[in-house]
Structure 1
């Protein structure tokens, strides 16, 4: 069992926060808004997550004012959303304090029920020797059934490159994979390399437009390489399940500010009081470049 140190701190970036440390990792979770994980690093290392300190990326408008809010802020970090995406439903401002409780190997984080969607969100975080396991839960607190999927979004710091594995399943004369593109995505975008075994997407602060793709990520992992560190996420792709957005269990979005690695659970019809869950695992390792990272995965 890995030893976890849990401390409440006043962080200069995130305010009143919870800091979790073990022998390998440091994680910082704001307590006055969220659920958000705003810092994740190797002990003594650099935060791999994006932090929108200036509040540049936001959604505002009359819909938010009717709810008594100034709007939704990207903030950055890691967040739990609910797919399919819809404005303003999925942009419910996560600007209220969250609850937390220790578990010995981590914590359970719970946010207030969202006023717009009547969904309660929870993330259970468990530290192991070499990775962190996040179990995301969404519960329908409304009076009617809803069809939704848990949606884990990791907003990564500028300047790195995402690696997305290609599905290699042999299907004979039938197709074995599909790539889903959003209306603003250009197939000839020079940030994207359509490799035989992997798709890579480079985050560029000089980009003049956004790009997003989705896949049925059967290998069940993706990574982001930046400043000599590889942030790897893994999830279970269920081949017999129905996923949102044209059967996507993984999506990647980038613009001039950041890049997002996103995993999704299957669509579920949740009756009142029912819960859907989705697990994602995180690992940080040293990686000088794509070749060294991929070589380490083959060991």
Structure 2
């Protein structure tokens, strides 16, 4: 596949490389002079009725629920990226269902932090039910952390406060999964088949430890929203090529001409790999609290 034109945006600590047109895609994320935290998947491609869909890796915007071929519409041809102060706006063409995507990326000028505004607009003739779905493919071999709750005492201790969903292809038991009271750890350095889990968690964040760098992404949690995939707002897919951290917004009845927004904040930090697992949830919860 011929290399695609890209644009690089930088802050004091972060370097991002994005597609120069179409997508929208973020292809690389570096803290200081460190490695690319995002996965590169040049061989992941699928034939669709509209041509070949190329995954590329990195960060993308989809809308749930997932379906083939709708979710896999080839999106590499589209409007040029628009430079803005401290960032860029990436836009897609309008897909066959009438949906246009955009991601506004803004780098914090002083902290290793990124603000992302994901937007879906219905340019079709009919209402559509969908949920914005922000998917970040990270380099394989790290440790994913999935919080099962927000750390607050339950309002009613007689009712359940933790929910886990398993996709049909997820093997159980899976030695890559480790369950604690507050979180699930996924050790993607271990070999295994493709797998995916999800949760409905008021925490609203996911994290990934890769080569002494911690990547945290936070999205707004809507307690009264109806989420896709058996009410999951946080999901993680993992295989030998990447680990996907995925946040979702609630399902929306999107009228023609209407727009729905899903915001994320990313924080990238140096992180000790020797931190005790018992303290991991508290430390990451504190990071996420500072992002709100």
Q: Output the TM-score relative to the length of structure 2.
A: 0.90
Work out whether 1:59 is the aligned partner of 2:49.
no
Q: Which moved more, 1:118-127 or 1:162-171?
A: 162-171
* Shift of residue 32, structure 1, vs aligned partner: 4.4
* Match in the other structure for 2:214: 230
Equivalents in 1 of 2:81, 2:197: separation in Å? 34
Question: How many equivalent pairs are there?
Answer: 278
* Match in the other structure for 1:96: 77
**Runs of 5+ in structure 2 lacking a partner?**
288-292
* Shift of residue 176, structure 1, vs aligned partner: 1.2
* Shift of residue 31, structure 1, vs aligned partner: 1.6
2:29 alignment partner, one of 40, 44, 60 = 40
2:119 alignment partner, one of 106, 125, 137 = 137
Equivalents in 1 of 2:181, 2:172: separation in Å? 16
Q: How does 1:15-164 map to 2 (within 5 A)?
A: 15-53=4-42, 55=43, 57-60=44-47, 64=48, 66-67=49-50, 69=51, 71-114=52-95, 116-128=96-108, 129-130=110-111, 131-164=113-146
* Shift of residue 277, structure 1, vs aligned partner: 0.6
* Match in the other structure for 2:188: 203
Q: Which moved more, 1:195-204 or 1:148-157?
A: 195-204
Q: Which moved more, 1:197-206 or 1:29-38?
A: 197-206
- What is the Cα-based RMSD across aligned positions, in Å? 2.0
Q: Are the aligned partners of 2:19 and 2:81 in contact in 1 as well (CA < 8 Å)?
A: no
Equivalents in 1 of 2:79, 2:24: separation in Å? 7
- 2:275 counterpart SS class: helix
Q: Output the TM-score relative to the length of structure 1.
A: 0.88
Q: Deviations over 1:37-62 (max 9, x none)?
A: 00011122211000013x1x2222xx
Equivalents in 1 of 2:140, 2:3: separation in Å? 19
* Match in the other structure for 2:242: 258
The structure-2 alpha-carbon separation of the partners of 1:278 and 1:290, relative to structure 1 and needing over 3 Å to count, comes to farther
**Runs of 5+ in structure 1 lacking a partner?**
1-12
